[in-house]
Amino acid sequence: MKQFATFVKKEFFHVLRDRRTLLILIGMPIAQILIFGFALTNEVKNARIAVIDQAKDRDSQHLINRIAASSYFEIQEDVLDRDRMETAFRAGGIKLALIFPANFGNDLAHQNHAQVQVIADASDPNSATTLTNYVSSIIRDYQMELNEQVALPHQITPQIRMLYNPQLKGAPNFVPGVIALVLMLVSVMMTAISIVREKETGTMEVLLVSPFKPVWVILSKAVPYLLLSLVNVLSIVLMSVFVLQIPVEGSWLLLFAESALFIVTCLTLGIFISIKTKTQQVAMLVSLMGMLLPTVMFSGFMFPIENMPVFLQWISNIVPAKWFYSIVKSIMIKGVGMEGVWKETLILCGITVFLFVVSLKSFKIRLE
């Protein structure tokens, strides 16, 4: 362990002496959290919603059928009461819920006025606003048709409620995405370049023929970036709390534990890239193009995955950032515990183990 600590110390010195590396490690998270802390708009389709029909009358069924026929919504049949609705919101199973009161049809017929409660998950404020607008538009169309058939105008008023982000700020949606993006780029790119640099200068061969085990040499290079990435997570979260006014609703310990798991995944991926590449330029190109685009496109950070073709949705399942983004948003914005993110955690663990095994086999083949 003394030799291992010596190698880790050496890698820290390498990082601290390189000003460009320090700029990427420290400057990029700060710049991105400030740039992406504001809103972007995206179209939403095939959003999972819940309908709780306490009226079960003709008017409520007509509205439900119209909503179900729309391409914007996908009604979840298993959410039938308020308790299940709350659970589905916390688990990310639905984006919006409609509640028809028991006297909906009666009020509409006799008082010419009825209300529908619309509850949206505003942890993604753009999607929440878009979905509530879609629902309001469908209700208005149905209301206009009713008014053509009766002498007195009917009025249906949606009561809209935004969960988790009632002020519809853009930052709560982008902070988890920035964390995933920064950790993916920094951890993968820095690890890949640092190992390839040793191979280019010829010092890696010297280290591998030393009495120290080759695997520990590789791991010693990953430890500094693990610690520095955790510092990045802390800086982003602190800036989110004190600059963007986004409190961490869930457990800080769970948030950092999940972040450490994702960092290990990224470091393993960086080691795999470094084993397969021969120059720093190739390693940087693969890290940037191979990691940046999938993280932005398939994590749900900027583009809703529900909008994509089924084939691309399948591809998104192998992108680690997708699962980490869901975990961070659930912990930070919704305040869920391990019971709400255990599935994503298991998937992320599986991806990490797979990458580690593949990297280890590739490394042994290169040594032979």
**pLDDT on residue 332:** 84
Of 22 and 116, the structure prediction assigns the larger pLDDT to 116
Q: Minimum mean pLDDT among 30-39, 48-57, 236-245, 307-316: which range?
A: 30-39
Burial call 30-57: b when 16+ CB within 10 Å, e when fewer: eebbeebbeeeeeebebbbbbbbbebeb
Q: Is the pTM of this model over 0.75?
A: no
- Find the angle CA(169)-CA(174)-CA(179) to the nearest 5 degrees: 140
| Residue 266: other Cβ atoms inside 10 A | 30
- pLDDT exceeds cutoff 60 at 282: yes
Of 185 and 260, the structure prediction assigns the larger pLDDT to 260
- pLDDT exceeds cutoff 90 at 281: no
Q: What is the pLDDT of residues 96-115, one digit of tens each?
A: 999 898 888 888 877 778 88
- pLDDT exceeds cutoff 80 at 24: no
| Residue 329: other Cβ atoms inside 10 A | 26
Contact 103, 55 (CB under 8 A): yes
Of 163 and 329, the structure prediction assigns the larger pLDDT to 329
Neighbour order of strands in the sheet with 96-100 = 73-75, 47-53, 96-100, 113-121, 155-163
**pLDDT on residue 38:** 40
Confidence label for 29 from pLDDT (cuts 50, 70 and 90): low
Spatial distance between the Cα atoms of 188 and 274, rounded to a whole number of angstroms: 9
Q: What is the pLDDT of residues 140-184, one digit of tens each?
A: 888 887 776 655 555 666 766 767 766 556 666 677 877 888 888
- pLDDT exceeds cutoff 90 at 186: no
Q: What is the pLDDT of residues 207-258, one digit of tens each?
A: 666 666 666 767 777 788 888 888 888 888 888 888 777 788 888 999 999 9
Structure tokens at 277: 């590449």
The arithmetic mean of pLDDT across residues 275-282, rounded, is 77
Report CA-CA distances (Å) from 271 to 26, 196, 215. 21, 9, 11
- pLDDT exceeds cutoff 50 at 41: no
